[in-house]
Structure 1
Amino acid sequence: MICRLCPRDCGAERTETKGGGVCRQPSLPVAARAMLHQWEEPCLVGEHGAGTVFFSGCNLRCCFCQNKPISQGDVGKPLTVERLREIFHELIDQGAACLDLVTPTHFTDAVLEALGDEEWPVPVVWNCGGYEKPETLRRLEGKVRVYLPDLKYALPEPARKYSAAADYFDWASRAILEMFRQTGPYRMENGLLKQGVLIRHLLLPGELENTRRVIDWVAETFRPGEVLFSLMAQYTPQPGAVGSMARHVTKAEYRAAVAYMENCGITDGYTQERTSAKEEYTPDFDLRGL
């Protein structure tokens, strides 16, 4: 395939076994772990956990990525479409509250084939970095019931500096609007998210203005009750980090971000304890469950 799935639009030739482009992945899926994951937002976890598949590769190059061994490294196991479908069923049989597909964009074709026309008993969650093409998302309509995008940046400079994607907000904002068009206002049942959009934003140390701009856009774009917003404090410095990125978010920074969010009228969603900024909350990518 000549790949045009994401905003990189790199036109890489990706075969079933040979990777290419920014994601460096083949067209058939590669994953690093399948598991019942306890550390997503409570509305996705339920009693037993989110049925999570961590796909390898990514179209972003975030210098602070906690999943760097799989997003930018070579950790992962090639899967057939048939095996991916089996994994979905195994996770559901284990009591998964949802099918949580992490960084699936570059495997869109294979994921759609694996989902097929089956009526899945739990929501399919598209858990992505937000750097998405609306036309790719349109292919998911009717298959994905919950979108879980990051909205990492509203300013071009940190997007360029930390993720090599100065155009991030232009694409992410349009992508989130397309996600909302498909799902409509979020819908909960017994504390679980059954349909809708849950926007995540990770506060970065020293980048409070970027966070304010993200919150501004969400507050101005959506009315109360339409989307959920998760303001995360779990930034963890990675090896080689310099400047402000070599430290954790401070209490004062996170308090200021939460206060700004509340002042802007965003009350539907989640805040996070700063104790979440620990490496042990990142799973072992040891290929189990595959």
Structure 2
Amino acid sequence: MDTFKPSYIRLYEDGTLLKRVEEVKKYLTECYLCPHGCGADRTKRVGFCKATDKIIVSSYGSHFGEEDVLVGYKGSGTIFFGYCNMRYVFCQNYELSFGGEGRTVSNEELANIMLYIQNHYRCHNINLVSPTHFVPNIIEAIYIAVGKGLNLPIVYNTGGYEKIEILKILDGIIDIYMPEYFSSELAMKFSKVPDYPNKAKLALKEMDRQVGGLKVDDKGIAYRGLIIRHLMLPGNIEDTKEVLKFIKEELSPDCLVNLMSQYYPIHRAYEHNEINRKLGFREYKEAYTFGENLGLRLD
């Protein structure tokens, strides 16, 4: 990792990063940051995500509950943002995603948080959790932080409902993409976002184009590439298999796949009998074995 230099530093040095800061600001007054395309002037009213043009930070610090390649021995420097552009009935962090818990911070304060994570916690990366609706603020914060010495890999930890136009603006700024992905039937049924599957597939392919398979240093710490999360839902093993087949057929062979088994029926999951229980061990084992047989790189 000592020899790794995030590409956003080069963008800062040649003036491209500042241009990106200016380019993306327009989306706060006519918001098309995600495929919802609500068009809200977020300086005056909230968008679909319920956020204004000001960042909400729910919490930040050294987090050891992420993937091993991100956590290492110093932790992943997570920054949890308030609100979200998705509406999953089973959202495992609904207090943040729906309630927007946290405090309002300026872009400069966000930059200082990144530097605190780097210099005080000494984490391996900056892990931006649910960042989509705050991309303009985040890019400016990164620009400010780079000028003060930021040099950690940046993780874009997202639900996967992304707009290609925005991802292209992030090209060279983000080192590690970490989207979640579900198949079409589940997305339409439980997220109320009918075009999620197609948009997410396109987004994953663009992320893969930018960063490719996951790369780790000699200590096993990730510094660039694609990690795909799939939260397994009870009774939906066929959905999981479709997700794994898509990854195998369409994305780089070295991307890391995390089959997450920690689903718990929370928020409004009780309204749907088929997901109103925990995931069974046999369900998880069947999916994991299926992924192994496909030759996927599993976490």
Which structure carries more helix by proportion? 2
- Whether 2:109 is the aligned partner of 1:80: answer no
Matches within 5 A, 1:99-138: 99-116=126-143, 118=146, 120-138=150-168
Alignment partner, residue 23 of structure 2: none
Distance 1:175 1:224 in 2: 17
Matched to 1:129, the amino acid is G
Corresponding residue to 1:247 among 259, 264, 277: 277
Distance 1:239 1:183 in 2: 34
Alignment partner, residue 29 of structure 1: 55
1:28 Cα deviation from its structure 2 partner? 2.0
Corresponding residue to 1:216 among 234, 245, 259: 245
Is the CA contact (8 Å cut-off) linking 2:77 and 2:126 kept in structure 1? yes
Deviation string, structure 1 residues 160-199 (Cα, Å, up to 9, x no partner): 2211112111011111111111112321101111100000
Alpha-carbon spacing, 1:48–1:170, altered in 2? closer, same or farther (3 Å):
same
Matched to 1:257, the amino acid is A
1:222 Cα deviation from its structure 2 partner? 2.7
Alpha-carbon spacing, 1:223–1:197, altered in 2? closer, same or farther (3 Å):
closer
Distance 2:267 2:244 in 1: 29
Matched to 2:179, the amino acid is P
Distance 2:245 2:237 in 1: 12
How many positions carry a matched residue from both structures? 264
- Whether 2:49 is the aligned partner of 1:20: answer no
Alignment partner, residue 52 of structure 1: 78
Aligned residue for 1:139, secondary structure, equals: helix
Alignment partner, residue 154 of structure 1: 183
Identity of aligned residues (%): 37
Alpha-carbon spacing, 1:4–1:239, altered in 2? closer, same or farther (3 Å):
closer
Structure 1 ranges of 4+ moved more than 6 A? none
Is the CA contact (8 Å cut-off) linking 2:118 and 2:150 kept in structure 1? no
TM-score of the pair, normalised by structure 2: 0.85
TM-score of the pair, normalised by structure 1: 0.88
Aligned residue for 2:70, secondary structure, equals: helix
Alpha-carbon spacing, 1:149–1:222, altered in 2? closer, same or farther (3 Å):
same
Alignment partner, residue 231 of structure 2: 202
Deviation string, structure 1 residues 71-101 (Cα, Å, up to 9, x no partner): 0013121110000000000001111110000
Distance 1:178 1:257 in 2: 26
1:239 Cα deviation from its structure 2 partner? 4.5
Consecutive unaligned residues in structure 2, runs of 5 or more: 1-28
Matched to 1:75, the amino acid is E
Matched to 1:184, the amino acid is G
1:21 Cα deviation from its structure 2 partner? 2.1
Alignment partner, residue 15 of structure 2: none
Distance 1:176 1:73 in 2: 28
Distance 2:173 2:131 in 1: 14
Deviation string, structure 1 residues 220-263 (Cα, Å, up to 9, x no partner): 113432x1111110101115414122100111111111111112
